[in-house]
Amino acid sequence: MIMATSPDRVARELQASLGLLFRRLRQVRVVAELSQPESTALASLVRNAPATSADLARVEAISAQSMHATITALERRGFVRRIADAADGRRMLIELTDAGRAMAGRKRDARAEQFATALGEHFTAEERATLHAAAPLLERLAKAL
């Protein structure tokens, strides 16, 4: 039986549990080669490239100056490159290099392995099925915010 739950209650419970999950994800290092801002920028570029540094800053809700510094560090390491915007030659777009895509993939794979280990060791098959069913809903919620 499904219980009627108010949006306020669900929001507060999700905020608390997802907040804890995200804090744990930030605490557990996966690829020591990247700082947290660099890792976040690479992940954002996987989803949003090519994009301007300012566009990426808006997506990640950080200052343009912070994103610029992060992109510059990633560029020095060969993970991203700047290209001229074909529609507006005055703008520079940021895109991943092959090395950047590979690094993002290693980070994603290592994180997925951490999730899989935790799910295998601490959750029943039924609980994993419930989490699997909830994943698209959480993605839809994220896009609605």
Residue 82 covered by a domain: yes
Please write the tens of the pLDDT for every residue from 43-60.
Answer: 999 998 899 999 999 988
Residue 7 covered by a domain: no
* CB-based contact 66:54 (threshold 8 Å): no
Domain hosting 60: range is 33-112
Residue 99 covered by a domain: yes
Please write the tens of the pLDDT for every residue from 8-36.
Answer: 999 999 999 999 998 887 776 665 678 88
The pTM assigned to this predicted structure is 0.71
* Tokens (6 digits) for 117: 């280990």
Confidence band (pLDDT; 50, 70, 90) for 3?
A: low
Residue 63 covered by a domain: yes
H or E element in which residue 82 lies: strand 80-84
**Using CA atoms, how far apart are residues 14 and 32, in angstroms rounded to an integer?**
29
Backbone angles phi, psi at 106, to 5 degrees: -65, -40
* Tokens (6 digits) for 62: 């950080």
Domains identified in the chain, total number? 1
CATH no. for residue 69? 1.10.10.10
Residue 53 covered by a domain: yes
Residue 52 covered by a domain: yes
